[in-house]
């Protein structure tokens, strides 16, 4: 299983996945230790929040899953359209979390994501993300 890990420092799992430009790409089989196979260190403008094409390097890397500490609903939906599952966790160690994910073991629950705590100049309808172990549920608020 090929897993991308949001990691602004290339050492720990970091959050706000849509703004991330650094990813560790790991290969994990659930039985042996995950192996880092690539690092994406993308230039400005290629965070998924900013780049809206389907030609993103993360999509070209062939990943099946993304591990992150936080992500908005738009990020989760966009990656789902590309066939990539997003797993939100409070875990900080990329190799340990990737091993757990590949083996089907539950991940530590994510810290609550306050949709209104980050102000970046516009709104784009984040959904609410709730994580329970490795499963992520997306709840979209729709106007009535």
CATH superfamily of 2-139: Dinitrogenase iron-molybdenum cofactor biosynthesis domain (3.30.420.130)
Extract the tokens encoding 107.
Answer: 């991940």
Extract the tokens encoding 94.
Answer: 């990329």
Q: What is the pLDDT along the chain (144 residues), one digit of tens a residue?
A: 999 999 999 999 999 999 999 999 999 999 999 999 999 999 999 999 999 989 999 999 999 999 999 999 999 999 999 999 999 999 999 999 999 999 999 999 998 755 544 444 444 444 434 343 444 444 444 454
Q: Return the domain boundaries, the chain.
A: 2-139
- What secondary structure does DSSP assign to 51-86, as a single string? --SS--HHHHTT-SEEEES---HHHHHHHHHTT-EE
Contact of 68 with 47, CB cutoff 8 Å:
no
């Amino acid at each position: 299983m090929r897993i991308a890990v949001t990691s602004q420092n290339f050492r720990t799992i970091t959050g706000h996945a849509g703004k991330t430009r650094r990813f560790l790409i790991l290969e994990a089989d659930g039985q042996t230790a995950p192996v880092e196979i690539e690092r994406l260190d993308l230039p400005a403008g290629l965070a998924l929040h900013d780049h809206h094409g389907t030609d993103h390097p993360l999509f070209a890397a062939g990943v099946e899953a993304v591990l992150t500490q936080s992500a908005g609903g738009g990020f989760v939906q966009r990656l789902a359209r590309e066939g990539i599952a997003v797993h939100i966790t409070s875990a900080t160690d990329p190799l340990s979390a990737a091993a757990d994910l590949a083996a089907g073991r539950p991940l530590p629950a994510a810290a609550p994501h306050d949709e209104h705590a980050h102000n970046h100049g516009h709104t784009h309808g984040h959904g609410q993300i709730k994580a329970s172990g490795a499963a992520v549920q997306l709840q979209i608020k729709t106007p009535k």
